[in-house]
């Protein structure tokens, strides 16, 4: 019996704009589950990544709203200077609680709430970045029975974050950006075949 995935969570820091484009631009408009994403950004950012990715993707890209219900075929990005949490009823929540790993939004915070909510139904993906945010989060996803993927550090624009995630959690897969995109597309096709 194939796993029944409910959501994909993705975290990135330095170099994330290009990495997200490589993955998200190939996904179909009807991608079968929601994607929730954290990109480290400046607190006063205008969240340019939303506009940029919408110009390069078929799938809908948006900034997450408080109490928003997750839907397939949509990528939800954290708002600048807010943690993004996933509640038990699969809605999104924004928080201004203290920074985690010097970051708000924090990848760890989002991944840990995703693991709590979706358990083995979540796919956690760590991309390029210059710190250790995401390491505890990917470990939480793995411990909850979810699937874990980390970008190959040798091809990451900034390898520290993927390296840290690999050392801490022995992920299920280490892929290039193209490999991550292909993996998600294959899951989508398998889901549609039923």
Residues annotated catalytic, as ranges = 13, 40, 133
Is 105 in contact with 38 (CB distance < 8 Å)?
Answer: yes
Is 70 in contact with 40 (CB distance < 8 Å)?
Answer: no
Give the number of other Cβ atoms within 10 Å of residue 55's Cβ: 10
75, burial (CB in 10 Å: exposed 0-12, middle 13-18, buried 19+): buried
For 156-184, the DSSP string reads SSS-HHHHHHHHHH--SEEE-HHHHHHHH
Using alpha carbons, select from 60, 21, 59, 57 the residue that is nearest to residue 39: 21
């Amino acid at each position: 019996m194939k796993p029944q995935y409910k959501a994909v969570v993705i975290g990135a820091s330095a170099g994330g704009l290009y990495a997200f484009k490589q993955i998200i631009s190939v996904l179909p408009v009807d991608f079968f589950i929601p994607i929730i994403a954290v990109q480290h950004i400046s607190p006063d950012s205008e969240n340019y990544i939303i506009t940029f990715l919408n110009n390069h993707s078929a799938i809908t890209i948006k900034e997450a709203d408080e109490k928003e219900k997750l839907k397939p075929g949509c990528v939800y990005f954290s708002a600048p200077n807010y943690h993004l949490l996933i509640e038990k009823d699969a809605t999104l929540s924004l928080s201004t609680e203290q920074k985690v790993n010097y970051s708000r939004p924090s990848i760890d915070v989002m991944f840990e709430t995703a693991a709590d909510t979706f358990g083995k139904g979540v796919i956690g993906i760590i991309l390029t970045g210059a710190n250790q945010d995401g390491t505890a989060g990917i470990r939480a996803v793995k411990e909850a029975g979810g699937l874990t993927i980390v970008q190959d550090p040798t091809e990451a624009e900034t390898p520290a974050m993927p390296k840290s995630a690999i050392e801490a959690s022995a992920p299920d897969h280490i892929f290039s950006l193209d490999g991550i995109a292909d993996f998600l597309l294959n899951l989508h096709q398998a889901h549609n075949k039923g």
